[in-house]
Amino acid sequence: MAEKELTEAGVVGGWYLEINDQWPGQAMGIKVKSKLFEGKSDYQDVRVFETETYGKMMTLDGVIQSTQRDEFSYHEMIAHLPLFSHPNPEHICVIGGGDGGVLREVMKHPSVKTAILCDIDAVVIEQSKVHLKHLACGFEDPRAEVLVGDGLEFLKGKTAAYDVIIVDSSDPDGPAGSLFGEEFYKVVHAALKPGGVTCSQGECMWLHLPLIKSMMACCRGIFGDVDYAYTCIPTYPSGQIGFMLCSKDSGKTFRSPLREPTTAQQDSMQYYSTEIHRAAFVLPEFARKELDPEQSRGTVTWDDSHVGTVNAGKVTAEGILGGFFYTSPT
């Protein structure tokens, strides 16, 4: 009898297979030992596994969100790229990030006075506190405040409130869809203080280059400066994920950090360093030609002469949920 084809994520023969239409024709397999939690929140399916070689793993709607073995490469970079690009980050907002990993990294900065996290899914927060204590430790910091709610609605009406806003969202095909549109980025821009910066989960250059290109085009019509960096992480699709960094004002250079980690900070990190910060913006040629065609080859000096050329563009949600992101004339 022919073996039944697996068409969605699940456990087969002791292996968790991540199958999703967002990356057709490929799948990630992780050998699991046990299932620690399985439930459905108001927004998505939530599962936590103990794996053979990657420690504890959380999935949302079948998509791997973090594993204990490699999560630091994502959480350190999405937090420290913007934080070390700001001279004195005091008031921080994290949208999404309910597992706590970004908040953990934010709290490594002594300059931080307040950090508020808003995630739409209480189940993710609760199960991270139970099973992912290596991530959720930041929740206990007295400078932190954790809210359950829609990130877009939370930021609406906020004006010049935060030095850094970090958007740790899942992929746009799900409850995080509202965090990938023009409306959201305009709200983020308004919520930033003068000199403020934001960093968003920026998808995979191997899979979503048109999406990334259009996200950057949209943001160049809203923010002063926009740039793209990336990190390597084995359990994310194609082993790579990017970050879109935007500044409220023009004249920001993300490619060289404004500060260096202290000895204590560096000792606590497993991926980020000043050297990695600079290297993260050096893209392979196929991506550079699409995302930064005016950047001369072999240099990391940002040329912002093209910033603001897409002010006439308008982002449509239809394109986002279709797996790509585009602008259309207003």
Q: What residues are labeled active site?
A: 168
Within 8 A by CB and 6+ apart from 58, the residues are 46, 47, 48, 64, 65, 66, 99, 124, 127, 128, 131, 132
First-last CA distance in the chain: 56
- Contact of 219 with 213, CB cutoff 8 Å: no
DSSP alpha helices (H): ranges in the chain? Answer: 71-83, 101-106, 122-131, 133-136, 151-155, 182-191, 209-220, 263-267, 274-279, 285-291, 317-321
Give the Cα separation of 258 and 260 in Å (integer): 7
Give the Cα separation of 313 and 220 in Å (integer): 10
Give the Cα separation of 145 and 260 in Å (integer): 27
The CA-based angle 320-324-325, given to 5 degrees, is 60
The two tokens of residue 103 are: 């908040």
Give the Cα separation of 224 and 258 in Å (integer): 18
